[in-house]
Amino acid sequence: MQYLAEGLRLPTNGLDYAILAIYFAVVLGIGFAARRSVKTSLDFFLSGRSLPAWVTGLAFVAANLGATEILGMAATGAQYGVAVVHWYWIGAIPAMVFLGLVMMPFYYGSKVRSVPEFLLQRFDKSAHLLSSILFAFASILIAGVNLYALSIVVEALLGWPQWVSIVVAGFFVLAYITIGGLSSAIYNEVLQFFVILAALIPLTLLGLKRVGGWDGLTDSLTKQYGDNFLSAWGGTGIGDANPLGANWLTIVLGLGFVLSFGYWTTNFAEVQRALSAKNLSAAKRTPLIAAFPKIFIVFIVMIPGLVAAVLVPKIGTAGSDLTYNDAIPLLMQELLPNGVLGIAVTGLLAAFMAGMAANVSSFNTVFTADIWAKYVVKDREDTYYLKFGRLITAIGVVASIGTAFLASSFSNIMGYLQTLFSFFNVPMFVVFIIGMFWKRASMKSGVWGLLAGTSAAMINYFVIYKQGIIDIPSDQGANFVSAIVGFVAGALVMVLVTLFTAPKPEAELAGLVYGTTSPGMQEAPEEGDSAWYRRPALLGWGAIVLAAACYIPYSF
Amino acid sequence: MSDLQREVSELESKSATAARLFDIRRIIGGLFVVYGVIVTIAGISPSDADLKKAEGVHINLWTGLAMLALGLFFLVWLKLRPTAPPTPGDVQE
């Protein structure tokens, strides 16, 4: 660890630190400037449902573009090659489009303030309480993962002791969310989105130049790792061996369908951004606008990963001091002069903070609106819940500092996150999809579906895979399979329970189930929403076609 | 209308975000103009070592100019399409 820290130290100077300091000042400034817009708890937790679509859309993609994602996906690129595109083109776009076109009318139209609150409306209190607690727990855990990852990266790059970066980053996140609420979190995410682009685009271009352009890159990689390294689907036939440890079926069903839909459509840290949009049209467009940058972001994380695999042929193996996660920091050190280097460091730190802030700002909403206000201190005036929301934000940040150390046992940070998602989000998705499309699904089926799906995925991963009862070549492959198992188990149990328990009265399902509309939906569309480039169907199908087209050069 | 919808609608009518929240385009524009200027200046006469490191590309200059352009784009957009004035009845300061 010590050697690594020395090896990756960046040659930062005063210029770079000035750029970083300006950013931190702006982050706090946004928090203070947003403060005067926070009058009700709805302002604090959902920006008063009043933001324009381009802001919520960019925040939607940025909330996912945390530094763990950036470093983790570059790592996946260095380790598995072009196959990393699956996490974007099949593992994100279809789910984002589905969320926008199909699910958003129910989410936004029913006026729920959180994902668990939808379950309360559609099913019953037990499903609601279980999902609220699971979500609160998971978001603190993931915020902790971010904070821990930040501290090891900052220690390696800048030489700050781990506790310093944990305290500094924790303090800034705590300050700007406690003061400015979700508006402050979302605005910072939009800003972070542009800074991270300004960091990764020069890095990608210089990296390509270093290895002789795209042709030079592909030549070296083919020589080193074979043709399949540069193909999305090569070697993914059932029974074939490939480094990903997954075949096309588990990629399509496990990653593309279950994991991805579970993450993008029911993870409140994402959905919250859409719920803060100013009207239904803007809410529908939120994930659709996000889909377009998402399609192309893969290039600026995958290429640095591939370049690192060329520059350090032994990266990630026992013969090298560098792990896969070091791909981007390595290129920053090798290629960026002071100035752009400061932008890159700022972008990375901003991404870490935004990744953590997205989880904290969704945690405080669920904890206040879904747990505290519904089960602990009920029916108080709104100012009380606003105050409590600020308090629990601070507590949440402190708690995530505590959980930061849980993250240290997995070498690939992304694998750790995916494992968590497969356990928590997969059953959520089953319950949502069945609840939204099957009117008969009974009140009790929600909670049993959640329990069955979560336990099945855990048993598959920790017992059947980890104990070697069935042979899956890699953790990633096992994640995909566990997700499918959790989905099927959750669905089966829901159907079984429904057959023996009472359905929800039809009158209470208005606006929650496919084929019904919410009584509050007749709000007039805003002027200009009918412009052709704002039509959700066009945006959604456009994103799907574009993502499919992107596969073509990497499939043959 | 359910209790939830009544509660959220009431909160929406009292919400101050739409009327009082500043426009993020001003912040993005401002920050990127400042960053653009700083990085462009750093890139005007790069040292040989910096040039060699960046594969002979004037990377600070190009990145700086691109960031400056992005910043100006946001400021111009804000100028041309300012935030819609709040509807009557909203809190104004």
pLDDT tens-digit series, residues A363-419: 999 999 999 999 999 889 999 999 999 999 999 999 988 877 666 555 455 456 656
Whole-number percent of chain A with pLDDT over 70: 93
The first and second tokens of residue A490, run together, are 């959750």
- Report angle CA A414, A419, A425 to the nearest 5 degrees: 110
User: Quick one: DSSP state of residue A112?
Assistant: -
Question: How far is the C-alpha of A370 from the C-alpha of B77, rounded, in Å?
Answer: 39
Q: Note the pLDDT of residue A191.
A: 94
Contact A40 B14 (CB under 8 A): yes
The whole-angstrom distance between A480's CA and the closest CA on chain B is 37
| Nearest Cα to Cα of residue A414 among A81, A73, A139 | A73
For B14, other C-beta atoms within 10 Å of its C-beta total: 13
pLDDT above 50 for A445: yes
- Region A47-61: mean pLDDT is 93
| Nearest Cα to Cα of residue A369 among A178, A116, A38 | A116
Q: Note the pLDDT of residue B79.
A: 92
Judge whether A4 and A322 are in contact, CB under 8 Å. yes
Question: How far is the C-alpha of A498 from the C-alpha of A214, rounded, in Å?
Answer: 55
Of A36-40, A364-368, B49-53, minimum mean pLDDT range: B49-53
Q: Note the pLDDT of residue B90.
A: 46
* Nearest Cβ partner for B20 among A37, A117, A340: A37
Does residue A67 come out as left (phi exceeding 0), alpha (psi in the -120 to 50 range) or beta?
Answer: alpha
Judge whether A284 and A56 are in contact, CB under 8 Å. no
For A268, other C-beta atoms within 10 Å of its C-beta total: 29
The whole-angstrom distance between B85's CA and the closest CA on chain A is 13
Condensed to tens digits (0 to 9), the pLDDT of residues A422-442 reads 577 788 889 999 999 998 899
- Any domain includes A203: yes
* CATH number of the domain bearing residue A469: 1.20.1730.10
pLDDT grade, residue A99 (50/70/90)? very high
Contact A202 B34 (CB under 8 A): no
Chain A residue numbers with beta carbons less than 8 Å from the beta carbon of B49 are 337
- Any domain includes A527: no
Q: ipTM of the assembly?
A: 0.90
The Cα-based distances of A132 to A117, A135, A227, A329, A333 in angstroms read: 8, 5, 46, 37, 42
- Any domain includes A523: no
Contact B39 A382 (CB under 8 A): no
Question: How far is the C-alpha of A364 from the C-alpha of A139, rounded, in Å?
Answer: 10
Chain B residue numbers with beta carbons less than 8 Å from the beta carbon of A113 are 8
Contact A26 B50 (CB under 8 A): no
Taken as a whole, chain A contains a residue count of 556
Chain B residue numbers with beta carbons less than 8 Å from the beta carbon of A528 are none
Sequence-separated (6 or more) residues with CB below 8 Å from residue A554: A82, A85, A230, A231, A232, A233
Q: How many beta-carbon pairs under 8 angstroms link A with B? A: 148
Q: Note the pLDDT of residue A525.
A: 65
Full domain range(s) for residue A211: 2-517+532-554
Judge whether B59 and A202 are in contact, CB under 8 Å. yes
Question: How far is the C-alpha of A161 from the C-alpha of A158, rounded, in Å?
Answer: 9
Average pLDDT, chain A: 86
- Region A19-37: mean pLDDT is 93
Question: How far is the C-alpha of A145 from the C-alpha of A141, rounded, in Å?
Answer: 6
Three-state SS for A25-84 is HHHHHHHHHHHCCCCCHHHHHHHHHCECHHHHHHHHHHHHCCHHHHHHHHHHHHHHHHHH
Residue of A nearest to B7 (CA): A111
Amino acid identity for residue A546 in this structure:
L
Q: Note the pLDDT of residue A523.
A: 60
The whole-angstrom distance between A304's CA and the closest CA on chain B is 15
The whole-angstrom distance between B64's CA and the closest CA on chain A is 8
Burial class of residue A503 in the structure, from the number of CB atoms within 10 Å of its CB (0-12 exposed, 13-18 middle, 19+ buried): middle
Of A13-22, A307-316, A482-491, B37-46, minimum mean pLDDT range: A307-316
Query: What backbone torsions phi and psi does residue B54 show, to the nearest 5 degrees?
Result: -90, 30
Condensed to tens digits (0 to 9), the pLDDT of residues A205-228 reads 999 998 888 898 888 888 888 877
Of A184-188, B41-45, B52-56, minimum mean pLDDT range: B52-56
- Region A273-302: mean pLDDT is 94
Q: Which residue has the tokens 């960031």?
A: B67
- Any domain includes A195: yes
Judge whether A90 and A251 are in contact, CB under 8 Å. yes
Q: Note the pLDDT of residue B85.
A: 60
pLDDT grade, residue B65 (50/70/90)? very high
Where would I find the H helices in A81-161? 86-89, 93-98, 104-109, 115-122, 125-158
Question: How far is the C-alpha of A94 from the C-alpha of A451, rounded, in Å?
Answer: 26
Question: How far is the C-alpha of A336 from the C-alpha of A127, rounded, in Å?
Answer: 50
Of A164-173, A378-387, A466-475, minimum mean pLDDT range: A466-475
Whole-number percent of chain B with pLDDT over 70: 88
Judge whether A368 and A184 are in contact, CB under 8 Å. no
Residue A483 CB-half CA count within 13 A: 32
Burial class of residue A26 in the structure, from the number of CB atoms within 10 Å of its CB (0-12 exposed, 13-18 middle, 19+ buried): buried
- Any domain includes A526: no
Chain A residue numbers with beta carbons less than 8 Å from the beta carbon of B60 are 337, 339-340
Sequence-separated (6 or more) residues with CB below 8 Å from residue A77: A84, A301, A302, A303, A304, A305, A306, A309, A327
Residue of A nearest to B35 (CA): A19
Highest mean pLDDT pick, A55-59, A255-259, A376-380, B45-49: A55-59
Question: How far is the C-alpha of A297 from the C-alpha of A180, rounded, in Å?
Answer: 29
pLDDT above 50 for B12: yes
pLDDT top residue among A481 and A2: A481
Chain B residue numbers with beta carbons less than 8 Å from the beta carbon of A205 are 57
A280 touches chain B (CB under 8 A): no
Whole-number percent of chain A with pLDDT over 90: 44
The whole-angstrom distance between A207's CA and the closest CA on chain B is 9
pLDDT grade, residue A9 (50/70/90)? confident
Where would I find the H helices in A459-521? 475-500
Amino acid identity for residue A32 in this structure:
F
Does residue A246 come out as left (phi exceeding 0), alpha (psi in the -120 to 50 range) or beta?
Answer: beta
Sequence-separated (6 or more) residues with CB below 8 Å from residue A96: A264, A287, A288, A290, A291, A294, A543
| Nearest Cα to Cα of residue A225 among A300, A317, A301, A329 | A317
Contact B15 A42 (CB under 8 A): yes
Question: How far is the C-alpha of A543 from the C-alpha of A554, rounded, in Å?
Answer: 18
Residue of A nearest to B50 (CA): A337
Condensed to tens digits (0 to 9), the pLDDT of residues A117-156 reads 999 999 999 999 999 988 888 888 888 888 888 888 888 8
pLDDT above 80 for A289: yes
Chain B residue numbers with beta carbons less than 8 Å from the beta carbon of A190 are 24, 28
Q: Note the pLDDT of residue B92.
A: 40
pLDDT grade, residue A1 (50/70/90)? very low
Interface subset of A 101-120, CB within 8 angstroms of B: 110-113, 117
Question: How far is the C-alpha of A141 from the C-alpha of B58, rounded, in Å?
Answer: 42
Question: How far is the C-alpha of A90 from the C-alpha of A544, rounded, in Å?
Answer: 9
pLDDT above 50 for A190: yes
- Any domain includes A522: no
Chain B residue numbers with beta carbons less than 8 Å from the beta carbon of A55 are 24
Q: Note the pLDDT of residue B86.
A: 56
Question: How far is the C-alpha of A370 from the C-alpha of A363, rounded, in Å?
Answer: 10
The first and second tokens of residue A243, run together, are 């480094």
Question: How far is the C-alpha of A133 from the C-alpha of A375, rounded, in Å?
Answer: 12
Residue of B nearest to A33 (CA): B22
The Cα-based distances of A161 to A151, A156, A399, B12 in angstroms read: 8, 9, 20, 45
Residue of A nearest to B5 (CA): A111
The whole-angstrom distance between B8's CA and the closest CA on chain A is 7
Question: How far is the C-alpha of A366 from the C-alpha of B16, rounded, in Å?
Answer: 21
* Nearest Cβ partner for A335 among B35, B54, B67: B54
Report how many domains make up chain A. Answer: 1
Chain A residue numbers with beta carbons less than 8 Å from the beta carbon of B23 are none
A134 touches chain B (CB under 8 A): no
What Rg, from alpha-carbon coordinates, does chain B have? 22
